[in-house]
Amino acid sequence: MMNVIINGTPYDLPDGTTVAQAVARLTTATTGVAVAVNEEVVTRGSWDSTRLTERDRVEVLTAVQGG
Amino acid sequence: MTEDALVIAGQKFASRLIMGTGGAPSLEVLDQALAASGTELTTVAMRRLDPAQRGSVLDVLRARNIQVLPNTAGCYTAGEAVLTARLAREALGTDWVKLEVISDERTLLPDPIETFDAAERLVADGFVVLPYIGDDPALARRLEQAGCAAVMPLGAPIGSGLGIRNPHNIELIVEAAQVPVILDAGIGTASDAALAMELGCDAVLLASAVTRAQRPDLMAAAMRSAVEAGRQARQAGRIPRRRYAEASSPLTP
């Protein structure tokens, strides 16, 4: 297992968990969502191939009312 | 498309009223207000995804065929703003961004140094950058030279409803600008929006004045009319102000 932070909350996830699998823990939405790992954008096309590692900080963002 | 279109980065808009979506009590109220405003371009913020959230502001905009303009609200540094803009581009499929880098929580005034830094980096990264700035003619000129697609000076602090505190500076910005000038923030009521257009602004961006009004849809309609009236008055050319009367009727019988 490894510990990663997703949107500020710690998660214990199996080794080799991908960005796509991490996002799936929060939402089934496939549009309107963007991900950064350690302050770098991970494009949608790379979600399946990008594996998280211990202590990664994952941000999953979407659009909300504002401005 | 009307002859008098607003053009930003080569794209035409018939409406000169850009709406924000913050502050509305519900998506239903927001939807009705957006419809009444006639807006074609509307801002959203980027935030951490909340799994419990039901319904999305994006669905409202999509159903109304309104173009989404992501902002970088909540960012205090250029680095945060650049990352937020890139995430918005990824999530929303637009390279347009309302660049907003604030200096402190109490005034929410834009930080000119961080804003300029972020603007340069985002322009270099291919974004259409619309920066929210103070009513500073020098900064507006520098941002235009840096490649911003518009400049968005405030009338007064966000959500304050204080109107346009320095109309003279807004006029100076308008005089010098070759890109659209969008009055952003501070609008309280319809006369403020009309004044912005009379001063020569190309568009008005507002949210709270509508979304926090007692009747948002009615205020949205008022803002739509005010922006149109102010634009027409600007184009019509107002009479000069005089110290004394100038008779409009013959003075002799």
Domain spans in chain A, listed from the N-terminal domain onward: 2-62
Q: Indicate whether B253 pLDDT > 90.
A: no
Asked if the Cβ–Cβ distance from B22 to A32 is below 8 Å, we say: no
Mean predicted lDDT score pLDDT of chain B: 95
Partner-chain residue, chosen from A27, A44, A67, that has the shortest CB–CB distance to B98: A67
Of B185, B193, B245, B184, which is closest to residue B219 (Cα–Cα)?
B193
Query: What mean pLDDT comes out for the span A17-46?
Result: 92
Count of A-B CB contacts under 8 Å:
96
CA distance B246 to chain A (A): 45
CB B150 within 8 A of CB B182: yes
Catalytic residue among B16, B89, B98, B234: B98
Q: What is the pLDDT of residue B2?
A: 52
Q: What is the pLDDT of residue B1?
A: 45
Q: Percentage of residues in chain B with pLDDT exceeding 90? A: 92
Q: What is the pLDDT of residue B167?
A: 98
Q: What is the pLDDT of residue B3?
A: 79
Q: Indicate whether B105 pLDDT > 80.
A: yes
Query: What mean pLDDT comes out for the span B151-173?
Result: 97
Query: What mean pLDDT comes out for the span B229-247?
Result: 95
Query: What mean pLDDT comes out for the span B190-209?
Result: 98
Q: What is the pLDDT of residue B252?
A: 83
Of B112, B24, B138, B49, which is closest to residue A32 (Cα–Cα)?
B49
Q: For residue B177, what pLDDT band results from cuts at 50, 70 and 90?
A: very high
Which residues of chain A make contact with B100, given a CB cutoff of 8 A? 67
Q: Please give the ipTM for the structure prediction.
A: 0.92
Please state the length of chain B. 253
Q: Indicate whether B94 pLDDT > 70.
A: yes
Q: Indicate whether B196 pLDDT > 90.
A: yes
Q: Percentage of residues in chain B with pLDDT exceeding 70? A: 99
Which tokens in the block code for residue B127? 């974004």
Give the whole-angstrom CA distance, residue B203 versus residue B13: 10
CA distance A2 to chain B (A): 22
Going by CATH, does the domain composed of A2-62 fall within 3.40.190.10? Answer: no
Which tokens in the block code for residue B162? 């204080």
For chain B, which residues lie within 8 Å of any Cβ of chain A, measuring from their own Cβ? 20-24, 27, 30, 43-49, 51, 53, 56-58, 68-71, 73, 79, 83-84, 86-92, 98, 100, 205, 207
Partner-chain residue, chosen from A32, A35, A67, that has the shortest CB–CB distance to B56: A32
Query: What mean pLDDT comes out for the span B88-109?
Result: 96
Query: What mean pLDDT comes out for the span B168-176?
Result: 98
Q: What is the pLDDT of residue A27?
A: 87
Q: B22-81: per-residue pLDDT in tens? A: 999 999 999 999 999 999 999 999 999 988 887 889 999 999 999 999 999 999 999 999
Partner-chain residue, chosen from B27, B71, B91, that has the shortest CB–CB distance to A66: B71
